[in-house]
Amino acid sequence: MPIIAVVGSRQSGKTTSVEAIVRGLTEKGYRVATVKHIHEADFSIDTGGKDTWRHAQAGAKTIMSVAPKEWAIIRKVDIADLNLSTFVQQCEKEADVLILEGFRKLVAKNLTIPKVVTVKNKNEVTETIEYFEPILAFAGPAKVTVGNIKIPRIDVLREPQKLVEIIDKRVGLIIKKRRAPRETVKIQVHEKTLPLNPFVAMFVRNVILAMASTLKETGIRGDENILISFTDSKS
């Protein structure tokens, strides 16, 4: 699952850049998940006095709230045990790309995670170009130009689409490959796999799923692994 990190100093435009990225990628048809790093030690997404807060105060480590248009899960955990895999596992089935806001120490030299670095001035460009790798673009509320640096610099308020296109160029092909249908039907007779053209494979798949869906206690989503085996009943 592709991950893009938006990192930078305080008040440098990280959230503004994340908004632009999420909006642009969503308009392109991608499903986007985000993770925000919050530094305040006593911060809680929950509200003191509410029922979910009371559940936590009573000792619950996982609290869920379910509303007509929202399902929220609050986990009381030690964040020292969290890593990028934890974030991906939470959203990889529902999203095509994950956008991180913050987590500068966690992603600084991770070469698998491209960074958008938000900057307020020339000094921040000079400092961060040595700290983060790789950098896709510098972004923020205003353009900052420094020497002959070849990394694109985007005024995210005036030209957000440029930032979106840079990211799309990086992750679009990966997302398309992840979305591409994979072989889902295999028929073996005496350990020999029979060749199936796409039409026959799809026909067999749909027929089997349709039959399975009529059985009791079977909920078919369309992405199941189904094994049907015929054996000689003579013994």
Phi, psi torsion values for 135, nearest 5 degrees: -110, 120
Structural domain boundaries, residue 165: 3-46+83-179
Residue 234 has a pLDDT of 62
Residue 200 has a pLDDT of 82
Distance in angstroms (rounded) separating the CA atoms of residues 136 and 107: 13
Distance in angstroms (rounded) separating the CA atoms of residues 25 and 172: 10
Distance in angstroms (rounded) separating the CA atoms of residues 87 and 85: 5
CATH number at residue 115: 3.40.50.300
Residue 181 has a pLDDT of 65
Whether 75 is covered by a domain: the verdict is no
The confidence band for 224, taking pLDDT boundaries of 50, 70 and 90, is: low
Q: Are residues 127 and 12 in the same domain?
A: yes
Q: Are residues 107 and 199 in the same domain?
A: no
Residue 32 has a pLDDT of 95
If you search the block for the tokens 């480590």, which residue do you land on?
61
Beta strands in 13-68 (DSSP E): 32-36, 62-67
Query: pLDDT tens-digit profile of 76-110?
Result: 888 777 788 888 888 888 899 999 999 888 889 89
Q: Are residues 204 and 234 in the same domain?
A: yes
Assess contact for 145 and 40: CB atoms under 8 A.
Answer: no
Whether 122 is covered by a domain: the verdict is yes
Whether 145 is covered by a domain: the verdict is yes
Q: Are residues 125 and 28 in the same domain?
A: yes
Distance in angstroms (rounded) separating the CA atoms of residues 114 and 100: 11
Q: Are residues 232 and 150 in the same domain?
A: no
Q: Are residues 14 and 29 in the same domain?
A: yes
Residues forming beta bridges with residue 189, ordered by sequence position: 192
Query: pLDDT tens-digit profile of 107-145?
Result: 898 999 999 999 988 888 888 888 999 999 999 766 666
Whether 193 is covered by a domain: the verdict is yes
How many folded domains does the chain comprise?
2
Whether 36 is covered by a domain: the verdict is yes
Q: How many CB atoms lie within 10 A of CB 142?
A: 13
Whether 182 shows a pLDDT value over 70: the answer reads: no
Q: Are residues 152 and 101 in the same domain?
A: yes
Instruction: Report strand pairing: 135-140 vs 70-75.
Output: unpaired
Whether 52 is covered by a domain: the verdict is no
Whether 74 is covered by a domain: the verdict is no
Beta strands in the chain (DSSP E): 3-8, 32-36, 62-67, 70-75, 97-101, 115-118, 135-140, 153-155, 188-189, 192-193
Residue 195 has a pLDDT of 84
More confident residue, 11 or 199: 11
Nearest to 14 by CA among 86, 107, 84: 107
Q: Are residues 92 and 155 in the same domain?
A: yes
Of 44-53, 121-130, 150-159, 183-192, highest mean pLDDT:
150-159
73 Cα distance to chain centroid: 17
Instruction: Report strand pairing: 135-140 vs 97-101.
Output: unpaired
Q: Are residues 149 and 37 in the same domain?
A: yes
Whether 152 is covered by a domain: the verdict is yes
Distance in angstroms (rounded) separating the CA atoms of residues 128 and 132: 6
CA atoms within 13 A on the CB side of 49: 0
Q: Are residues 136 and 197 in the same domain?
A: no
Q: Are residues 109 and 193 in the same domain?
A: no
